[in-house]
Chains A and B, each alone.
Chain A
Amino acid sequence: MKAFVIAEHAEAASALAAGARTLADEVAVAVVGSEQVPANIADAAYHVAVPEGAAADDAAATLEALLDDVQVVIAEPVRHVKSIVGKLAAAKGASVITDCLSIEDGVATSMYFGGVGQIRRKAKSGIAFYTAGAGSFGDAQPSGSNAGAEELSWVAPAAALKLVSSEPIQKSGVDLNKSDVVVAAGRGFSEEADLDLARALCDKIGAGLGCSRPLAEGAGWMPSETYIGVSGLMLSPKVYIAAGISGQMQHMVGANRSGTVFAINKDQNAPIFKQCDYGLVGDLKDVLPKITEAL
């Protein structure tokens, strides 16, 4: 059995190569873009440099020829690679099972309706395609004897994208995965300035400030890398404090592994109150300053 790993980041390449080893006896890895394949993680390693003016998505045409003797493809769940692996699956008449939480004996578990359920699926035949995060394979360690990586020459597809510009996103530098205490702000914050109430609470207890997705996308008041939930961060802090968050499953799957969950919401019927340890029914504009003061 041969597995093929596709990643954009070296770290993901290592983690997925380790996972691939749990599924297959032969592992090949390809990294697309500016990062390199780490040594000693696979039996064969390839690198695809993306030419000036081309988009990484189009690396699929370069990689396709390498899949002939492959049974399993595991790809990093980032947008470039999701389009690469989608193109490869299309070429092979297959579908990709994306964002797998785990893969065992070819059966992948992933979220269904944002965490309302979990769905277990497998490929009926042919090559099985998956995308999976670094954490999907527990503490599996990569092994192999690759030194460098073979540089593949770019094959341009018929319908190519033209890359005009690429600007790095300025990140906030906040890594909520490292916070023991997280305060999460939701749409209950009606004005951006009110976020200062949550920031004051964070300062008092040394918490990191996160949010629900609408505050990052749509409102744009918070950086994208701070929204919590199925399509954002999956956290497990000691303490999680939700303010003005209704408690939809898509958000809560990112928070329900927290030690103790606190919630503040003005609607006593908000679903969050069924998923918290301690809840206060009240207006956050009134309640948050009182909590901060009493601490």
Chain B
Amino acid sequence: MMNIVVAIKVVPDDQDIQISAAGELDMSKAHQTISAYDLNAIEAAAQLAQAVGDSKVIALAVGGSAIDESKLKKNILARGAEELVMIADDACADLDAHATATVLAAELAKIGDVDLVVCGDGSADNYAQQVDVQLACKMGVASVNGVVEMSAAGSTLTAKRKLEDVIETVEAQLPCVVAVTPDIALPRIPGMRDILAAGKKPMNVGAADAAAETCLETIEIKAPEATERKQEVSNASDDGAIDAFVAALKAAL
């Protein structure tokens, strides 16, 4: 039996980010979405819970008030988690890893009896890959990143991790924190039934007990200058289209 918490970041969908003429990023029209690789983390947590048996997955998300959105919450709960705890508080918008870990640790303490925290490989915005390790330090437990496979027996988690040059197998005492790579599990595609069932699951949305101070200051966010491209696009079935493409390719080689 295990209590597994999966930590999720909700981010503006990058497909909806508009770039102004001055190069500013406008997110005002962007939908809130689950950060891509956190979907794999939810699936990995759900699969582990199933493998261990008699276990529970709680999704925990911390962010600004914009993340408290009904469709999004159902989407999170339609993927294998039994319960959602969400801190939707403007004091928690754009936190850095240290501040995020502080808020997560406070919520985990309230949830109590947590055996394992699963994080994604990195969030779509900053991809810092730091919340897992910072959180583990706050909790005084071990963390493992790059996890591609995991199993739990007794009080031990065994994880296979893929690093740059080696595959390591490590053991950590539970409770601990893991960050899983997208390789670990393909996210499920929730069906209508999952989404309907999700609406009936417990959703506990609140504010943070204490504001967490970020230790990083953002000076500027700008779109990089785009390289000018010719954009000569034609239909492959048009007469001579392939020949023209091949000629351009030969000239460029």
Contact = CB atoms under 8 A, between A and B. Distances in A.
A155 interface: no
Nearest to A295: B246
Interface string A85-102: 011011101111111000
A110 B141 CA distance: 29
Category for how many chain A residues contact B: 35 or more
Q: Among A112, A205, A217, A262, which residue has the most Cβ atoms of chain B within 10 A?
A: A112
B248 A277 contact: yes
Interface stretch (A39-47, A66-74, A121-129): A121-129
Interface string A149-161: 0000000001111
A46 B98 CA distance: 27
Interface in B100-153: 101, 122, 124-130, 132-134, 136-138, 140-146
Q: Among A163, A274, A281, A295, which residue has the most Cβ atoms of chain B within 10 A?
A: A281
A113 B17 contact: yes
A279 interface: yes
Interface in B221-237: 221-224, 226-227, 229-237
Nearest to A171: B165
Interface residues of B, number: 82
A205 B126 contact: no
A159 B140 contact: yes
A273 B230 CA distance: 10
A274 B233 CA distance: 9
B170 interface: yes
A111 B127 contact: yes
Main secondary structure of the interface of B (DSSP, over half): mixed
B210 interface: no
Main secondary structure of the interface of A (DSSP, over half): mixed
Interface stretch (A24-32, A132-140, A192-200, A252-260): A252-260
Nearest to B36: A250
B164 A96 contact: no
A125 B215 contact: yes
Contacts of B132: 86
B248 A159 contact: no
A260 B253 CA distance: 9
B234 A280 contact: yes
Given A90-B134, A159-B142, 15 more contacts: A79-B161, A91-B137, A95-B98, A95-B216, A98-B129, A112-B125, A116-B19, A117-B224, A120-B221, A121-B216, A161-B172, A162-B170, A169-B165, A260-B248, A278-B248
Interface of A: 55, 57, 78-80, 82-83, 86-87, 89-91, 93-99, 107, 110-126, 158-169, 181, 205, 213, 217-218, 220, 224, 230-231, 238-239, 241, 249, 256-257, 259-264, 268, 273-283, 286-287, 290-291, 294-295
